Amino acid sequence: MQNSDIGADPSGSYPSRQYVHRQTSQEGDNRFSNDWNTRTYVYDDSNPHSTQQETDSIASSGHERYTDSDQGNHESSAVDYDNASGAVAPNAQNQPPQSPAGHTAAQQLPQQQQQHEPTQQQSQHEPPSSPPDSANNEKAAEAVNQPQPQNQQQPGGDGDEDDDDEDIDALIEDLYSQDNQEEEEEEEEKHEPGGVKTVPEELLQTDPKQGLSQSEVEQRQSKYGLNQMKEEKQNNFKKFLSFFLGPIQFVMEAAAALAAGLRDWVDFGVICALLLLNATVGFVQEYQAGSIVDELKKTMALKSSVIRDGHVVELEAKDIVPGDILHLDDGTICPADGRLISDDCYLQVDQSAITGESLAVDKHKNDTMYSSSSVKRGEAYMVVTATADSTFVGRAASLVGAAGQAQGHFTEVLNGIGTVLLVLVILTLLCIYTAAFYRTVRLARLLEYTLAITIIGVPVGLPAVVTTTMAVGAAYLAKKRAIVQKLSAIESLAGVEILCSDKTGTLTKNRLSMGEPYCVEGVDPDDLMITSCLASSRKKKGLDAIDKAFLKALRDYPKAKQKLSKYKILDFHPFDPVSKKVTAIVETPEGERVTCVKGAPLWVFKTVQEDHEVPQEISDAYREQVNDMASRGFRSLGVARKVEGKQWDILGIMPCSDPPRNDTGRTIGEAIRLGLRIKMLTGDAVGIAKETARQLGMGTNVYNAERLGLGGGGDMPGSEVYDFVEAADGFAEVFPQHKYSVVDILQQRGYLVAMTGDGVNDAPSLKKADTGIAVEGASDAARSAADIVFLAPGLSAIIDALKTSRQIFHRMYAYIVYRIALSLHLEIFFGLWIIILNRLMNLELIVFIAIFADVATLAIAYDNAPFAPKPVKWNLPRLWGLSTVVGILLAIGTWIVNTTMIAEGQNRGIVQNFGVLDEVLFLQISLTENWLIFITRCNGPFWSSIPSWQLTGAVLVVDILATIFCIFGWFKGGHQTSIVAVLRVWMYSFGIFCFIAGVYLILSESAVFDRLMHGKAKKGGSTRTLEDFVLRLQRTSTHHEQDGKHNG
């Protein structure tokens, strides 16, 4: 057993926490059980100057408790009540955490991703204790208090958040009327804005009262640029041209060129129209999705209070430069990285967009503020140390580039299908050229053969139909408030097997609420609640999350709420990070003076213990509850009171936590029923993550991310790490590289992975995932990296997205089987016809066969399709097997009609009294091909699922047109075909249709056929050896880099 050292490498990039851990390995076959590793963290709050101390585990089930060091630690949990209760205090310092091998989180990143913080240096100037220049106080107050853009409330939100806030405001106003306190303004809400340049320290020595002059601003702006992250601007024209790239598109373009060379302008126009249709639909859909996201950014414009030339002015965030002095107060979103310079300042700052942790952190003078963090309480001045891409957020966003712009999964499938069909076309043409060589066929005729086989052999309408189908699905999802930024993400989502989800704000509400309180024997819960609320802030502006949770909980205690307004606050002392409690002196309705305190449970208990000896029975029960709540991840607060002239009374413990969203449990349950495995990835402590997972019905095998050993530490072989990630239900205390690596490992194991997130810390993994989903309220970096953006809160939209994507997959699968079968049908028939008989159908009729095949099935985008109960994947061997069998049967059917008409003439055979052979073949091919979609669209018999009226109508219209072509002999000199002959063709085609439907049904439900077409190789020893090698290489390179840094 070893204790890791306390401390962290100051060069790391990630703001984080410190802790000590004890690690014990346990033997056993079930290596992924909760007993894999037991680590316990506890704060010894009997000594206010103590650091963290290792103690015996109080929970044998693998629960973990975390604390922050109190000594010398300025930046601790926003609610240091947690330190005694055993809950994590997020981001204890601006230092990265230690991995088991002593490596920082930043050093755990791949080498190309590492980013480093500029070294913090002490400010050598004195900050203002009040707004600069008393003559400008009035202007400063007006500037700071100007209204800022408000968040737009999204419909479909969770619970009655707005109503809750209004209830609290009304309660506070009622309490104010008793206390004669001044009214405060409503808390304002703002949103964040979106090569690293180090700023010399001398440029940061700005006079805090005067700020920068205009000339200094211009100089710095020319050097460091605007305070906005650089976004890769995509050329719309190049984007449009990209839709003309791909194997199928190349064949279509070659066919168009060949048609132009033959001066076959009808074919040329049709092919070009199909190419333009595909490109236009795809481009417009993705452009509209991007426009929606851009509009979201515009509605979240950010302004800041900046000191310039001795005046406080309101500036847009993009105009801020290094060295600027910013005024921060309640509700401010920090627009850049900076250093606090105000004496005795105390801020509570929400950094969840960066670290993913739900609680705010405390900040004092010389502590670092990060861009996109928000001030929850307090007021201070800050000197800007980094802007734009040089900020922590900017550097973290650059990690997205490491994920690369990989080719989409669906694009690979389509390109693979197109390539195989292209090869078959080439082979068919080689056979035709060989036969033509012995027949001395004219070159012009040979070019006609080439054009015909090219048009029929490659599904020219495939890109257009597929793009239209996904665009229709994207439009439907947009109505459900899910914006699809990349159409191929819809197909990927249909096959997603594992969903890696952020916890805070996605699975949970991202706001604290009270749990079931523990009352000391003889204490009334209403008395406990009254005392707790009396020791809470009465501010509406910058109301602390803990106090807000207490006030909201009053609705469950109507008696306490009624009595509370009768108390008068005489003196109130906000949370003191030294004594770790809040104190309020109040006057009861009976005129008694009572001192009320709430805070870290053991510190509150210590206050009572110093006054008088607490009975052992009460002491033991109290401590047991503290430990139990800590092991379950609750942030608990002790409550006590003292009536003047009497001794202190310990009342009980109030547990609070970030509860799951009201719809999350139902959403998780439905997602599991749809075959999804959900893994929680959170920056919170393991105990909190496990309790949240338990409440949601998820698996509770949640481990500390350090166990992965991805930063150079750890001794598990690579294959075991892969097994570990695959079996775990989630990981806690994760940083961006952990999320990225988990997604990467799962993808290497062959899974399709979706990732949800909202913060800057989620952007790399969102980009890496097969489907990245930015949830409601996500940062610009997360939205830019995601494939789908949810505008509605929570995860409920993902169920609609899953079902819709699987319906779209079903439609595309049916169409592709149908279209490959058609290509094979025509290629086999016309190839043999040319080779054996040296004949070819009129080119215009061939083009119309291709048009009819695709125009009719464009309506499949609106077809009634079921959604699969499990994730779906492209089983290409099975797809090709079904398509090949159907294509051969279609070719045989057409060949029978052709040969009987040729052999028997006009008066005998299957079809009699026909006008021109080409017209009859055109009708027979059109009918059997159009009806084929009714077979491939069903999972069972073709009558088991009723098609949509759009699809039925489209097929019927095409059938009528094909019949008219045949009757009137269009494109063949007007040679008409009798009605009787047409009816014979219809009847024969229907017989072929029924026969193929029977064969297709037998093959679809045949276990033997499935085994033949779905061989899945087991993971061999060579794969596990490769996994071991890759992880060893990563660890070795990290150690090597560490050594290089230390030697340097």
- β strands within 413-462, DSSP E: none
Comparing CA positions, the residue from 713, 721, 807, 799 lying closest to residue 754 is 799
d(CA 61, CA 631): 9
Q: Could you tell me if residue 310 is left (phi over 0), alpha (psi between -120 and 50 degrees) or otherwise beta?
A: left
d(CA 424, CA 1): 65
d(CA 1007, CA 830): 34
Tokens of 554: 């009053």
Type of residue found at 193: P
29 CB-contact burial (10 Å; exposed 0-12 / middle 13-18 / buried 19+)? exposed
Which residue among 319, 350, 502, 649 is the active-site one?
A: 502
All residues at 6 or more sequence positions from 875 whose CB lies less than 8 Å from its CB, including other chains: 1013, 1014
d(CA 195, CA 230): 10
- β strands within 329-440, DSSP E: 337-340, 347-350, 361-363, 368-369, 374-377, 380-386
β-strand partners of 790: 482
Active site residue 576: no
Alpha carbon distances (Å) from 976 to 217, 380, 917: 84, 90, 11
Contact 419, 396 (CB under 8 A): no
Type of residue found at 252: M
> How many CB atoms are located within 10 Å of the residue 558 CB?
10
Alpha carbon distances (Å) from 269 to 252, 263, 306, 418, 954: 12, 11, 61, 22, 22
Tokens of 748: 């290497």
Tokens of 1012: 């033949």
| Helix/strand/coil for 245 | coil
Tokens of 753: 């992975």
d(CA 962, CA 965): 5
SS (H, E, C) 737-765: HHHHHHHHHHHHCCCCEEEEECCHHHHHH
d(CA 288, CA 281): 11
Contact 785, 760 (CB under 8 A): no
Comparing CA positions, the residue from 760, 759, 763 lying closest to residue 772 is 763
Spatial strand order of the sheet with 380-386 comes to 311-316, 303-308, 325-328, 380-386, 337-340, 368-369
All residues at 6 or more sequence positions from 983 whose CB lies less than 8 Å from its CB, including other chains: none
Alpha carbon distances (Å) from 821 to 465, 667, 818, 825: 16, 39, 5, 6
Tokens of 263: 């001066």
| Helix/strand/coil for 445 | helix
All residues at 6 or more sequence positions from 499 whose CB lies less than 8 Å from its CB, including other chains: 671, 676, 677, 678, 679, 753, 754, 755, 756, 798
SS (H, E, C) 158-206: CCCHHHHHHHHHHHHHHHHHHHCCCCCCCCCCCCCCCCCCCCCHHHHCC
| Helix/strand/coil for 342 | coil
Tokens of 1001: 């049904």
The label of the residue with tokens 């125009």 reads 855
Tokens of 408: 């989409």
Active-site residue list:
502
